[in-house]
């Protein structure tokens, strides 16, 4: 295309070790100018990245500006002295050439005599684009397999999340290392690339979970509390707590509500490594439930604590913590209590300074229902007393212990059969028959895991006994733990539907009551 009036830009780059003849910025600039003049093109700019490597992962501001200009249509062709000035690794080069082609911007390399403005050059660019697509797709698949295997092996993919570090204390480059971490400069504390808890950040993570479970702090309130907190180094120097920045890009700043939200949702703190599947474009599907693998890193948060926080977040999600600067009232039975006449849900409301539950169908004028307004304290107390009566009944305890005894007996017989089989006293067919009998006995029991049910009942009873001392958020959590729904007619609870874990409480084979297939019971 000699003689065509094209707008050209040049790109030159040199690292600190390449300031020699043939690589210097001046030499690159002269070659770029000479080529543009020989083609009759108008050279409008030369972008320069000085002292920066072209290796994978390096950030080059001038190249970023050039690509933005290409997308905006500011020029028609990019000229470089040599391809390695542009990119040193194939993936980056092919991706960049493909993007330039999409934006109708050509590419020229003086040294390699590549000119994509010519017909043959355009054909070559098309072939390179096809190779780029094949290469990138294959690389994506291999990268995905590699990341999945790392997760299976218990290793984290990427930079250590907040709360952990690499344990390379002697040569630490963590933004929260020198001048912040008391272990900086000491002997290394990790081998085989296993992450370890950061001495300051891990404690911050624990505080975040502890404060949230108290029920008084929202994400933003926790962020404010963290930003006003300090930690002390061994030399008695005080430093404000801070999140972790990104070296060379972002300095450690202040905690935000979104940062706290990320901490509270990170299952990695329980000692598990999550792996999120990727779509056809290689993007992570983080809204999907991840695969979880046992990690090699130590846990910062107990799995039970993590699950309690997730459960509490689900309960609180539809409800504001504060209204007009004052704490909002939380009604423990909202979402659980339903009208026995019309099926509508009850909502908590304040009337003349008192706490009440009102049928939502009446509030929204959906239906004319005769259900009256309910005093919150009265209906909550009625439900608490009823649940306590069931949970503490001798009949239930006797049945649970009986089932547990039957289950333990079957397990003991199976264990004896196993020992006899290993000792050669019985043949495999006899052992297999005992295994089958044990499995049939287990399936015939009305309760499959009596030990877990007993433990859950004991914990729930303990909390119901101290009902008056519980905060509203913990009362709500307790009701949601035990009940899916409770139906009321007038001022009386008339039916209950327990959660899956507490279905045995109303199991007809346990208490001899009239229950539906989902465990619902008419009172």
The per-residue pLDDT for 446 is 61
Q: Which residues pair with 275 in a beta bridge?
A: 291
- Secondary structure of 3-18 in the HEC alphabet? CCCCEEEEEEEECCCC
Q: What is the pLDDT of residue 65?
A: 94
Report pLDDT for 23. Answer: 56
Q: Are 263 and 201 in contact (CB under 8 A)?
A: no
Question: Which residue would you say has higher pLDDT here, 1 or 303?
Answer: 303
Instruction: Check if the beta carbon of residue 357 is closer than 8 Å to that of residue 331.
Output: yes
Residue 169 has pLDDT above 50, yes or no: yes
Query: For the ranges 284-298, 350-364, 486-500, which has the lowest average pLDDT?
Result: 284-298
At 383-414, the pLDDT tens digits run 999 888 888 877 777 777 777 787 788 888 88
Name the region of 343 (left: φ>0; alpha: ψ -120 to 50; beta: rest).
Answer: left
Q: Highest-confidence range of 62-66, 141-145, 275-279, by mean pLDDT?
A: 62-66
Question: pTM of the entire structure?
Answer: 0.55
Q: Where in the chain is the domain with CATH 3.40.50.1390?
A: 7-143
Q: Over 70: is that where the pLDDT of 129 sits?
A: no
Q: How far is CA 77 from CA 72, 99, 118, 366, in A?
A: 13, 13, 12, 66
Alpha-carbon gap, residue 140 to 132, rounded angstroms: 12
Residue 5 has pLDDT above 60, yes or no: yes
Under the banding of pLDDT at 50, 70 and 90, the label for residue 457 is confident
Fold of 164-312: Hect, E3 ligase catalytic domain fold (3.90.1750)
What is the Cα–Cα distance from 160 to 66, expressed in whole angstroms? 32
Which one, of 20, 86, 75, lies nearest residue 48 by Cα? 86
Q: Work out the burial of residue 398: count CB atoms within 10 Å of its CB; fewer than 13 is exposed, 13-18 middle, 19 or more buried.
A: exposed
Q: Answer yes or no: is pLDDT of 519 > 50.
A: no
Task: Name the class of domain 7-143.
Answer: alpha beta
Residue 29: per-residue pLDDT:
92
Taking only the tens place, the pLDDT of each residue in 145-159 is 778 888 888 888 888
Quick count: other Cβ atoms within 10 Å of Cβ 468?
8
The enclosing H or E element of 180 equals none
Percent of the chain clearing pLDDT 90 (strictly above) = 28
pLDDT grade for 133, boundaries at 50, 70 and 90? low
3 — pLDDT class (breaks 50, 70, 90): very low
Asked if residues 163 and 176 have their Cβ atoms less than 8 Å apart, the reply is: no
What confidence category does residue 306 fall into, taking pLDDT thresholds of 50, 70 and 90? very high
For the chain, what is the radius of gyration of the CA atoms? Answer: 34
Q: Does residue 21 have a pLDDT over 50? A: no
414 and 408 in contact (C-beta within 8 Å)? Answer: no
Q: How far apart are CA 96 and CA 78, in angstroms?
A: 11
pLDDT, tens only, 482-518: 888 999 999 999 988 888 777 766 655 544 444 444 4
How far, in Å, CA of 80 to CA of 406, rounded? 81
Q: Is 87 left (phi over 0), alpha (psi -120 to 50) or beta?
A: beta
Q: What was the pLDDT predicted at 411?
A: 84
Start-end ranges of CATH 3.90.1750.20 in the chain?
Answer: 164-312
Q: What is the mean pLDDT of the chain?
A: 81
Of 319, 326, 322, 365, nearest to 342 by C-alpha is 365
């Amino acid at each position: 295309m000699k003689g065509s009036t094209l707008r050209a830009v040049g790109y030159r780059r040199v690292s600190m070790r390449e300031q020699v003849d043939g690589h210097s910025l001046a030499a690159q600039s002269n070659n770029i100018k000479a080529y543009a003049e020989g083609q009759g093109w108008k050279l409008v700019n030369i972008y320069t990245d000085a002292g920066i490597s072209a290796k994978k992962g390096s950030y080059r501001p001038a190249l970023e500006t050039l690509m933005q200009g290409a997308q905006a249509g500011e020029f028609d062709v990019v000229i470089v002295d040599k391809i390695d000035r542009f990119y040193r690794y194939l993936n980056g080069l092919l991706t960049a050439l493909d993007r330039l082609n999409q934006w109708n911007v050509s590419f020229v390399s003086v040294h390699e005599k590549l000119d994509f403005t010519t017909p043959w050059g355009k054909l070559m660019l098309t072939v390179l684009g096809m190779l780029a697509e094949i290469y990138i797709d294959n690389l994506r698949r291999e990268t995905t397999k590699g990341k999945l295997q790392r997760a299976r092996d218990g290793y984290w993919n990427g930079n250590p999340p907040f709360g952990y570090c690499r344990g390379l204390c002697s040569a630490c480059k963590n933004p929260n290392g020198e001048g912040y971490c008391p272990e900086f400069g000491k002997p290394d504390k990790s081998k085989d690339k296993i992450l370890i808890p950061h001495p300051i950040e891990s404690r911050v993570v624990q505080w975040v979970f502890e404060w949230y479970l108290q029920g008084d702090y929202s994400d933003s309130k926790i962020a404010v509390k963290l930003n006003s907190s300090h930690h002390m180094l061994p030399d008695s120097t005080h430093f404000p707590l801070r999140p972790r920045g990104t070296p060379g890009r972002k300095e450690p700043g202040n905690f935000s509500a979104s940062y706290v939200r990320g901490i509270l949702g990170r299952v990695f703190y329980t000692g598990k490594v999550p792996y999120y599947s990727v779509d056809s474009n290689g993007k992570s599907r983080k809204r999907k439930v991840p695969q979880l693998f046992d990690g090699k890193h130590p846990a910062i948060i107990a799995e039970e604590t993590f699950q309690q926080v997730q459960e509490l977040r689900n309960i609180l999600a539809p409800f504001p913590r504060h209204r007009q600067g004052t704490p909002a009232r939380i009604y423990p039975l909202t979402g659980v209590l339903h009208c026995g006449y019309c099926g509508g849900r009850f909502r908590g409301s304040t009337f003349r300074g008192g706490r009440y539950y009102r049928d939502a169908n009446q509030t929204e004028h959906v239906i004319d229902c005769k259900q009256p307004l309910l005093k919150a304290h009265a209906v909550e107390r009625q439900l608490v007393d009823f649940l306590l009566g069931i949970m503490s009944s001798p009949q239930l305890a006797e049945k649970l212990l009986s089932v547990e005894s039957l289950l333990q007996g079957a397990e003991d017989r199976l264990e004896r059969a196993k020992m006899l089989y290993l000792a050669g006293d019985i043949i495999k067919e006899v052992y297999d028959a005992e295994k089958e009998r044990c499995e049939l006995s287990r399936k015939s029991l009305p309760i499959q895991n009596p030990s877990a049910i007993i433990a859950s009942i004991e914990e729930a009873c303990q909390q119901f006994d101290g009902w008056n001392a519980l905060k509203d958020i913990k009362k709500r959590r307790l009701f949601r733990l035990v009940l899916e729904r409770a139906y009321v007619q007038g001022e009386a609870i008339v039916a209950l539907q327990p959660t899956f874990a507490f279905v045995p409480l109303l199991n007809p084979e346990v208490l001899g009551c009239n229950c539906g297939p989902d465990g619902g019971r008419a009172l």
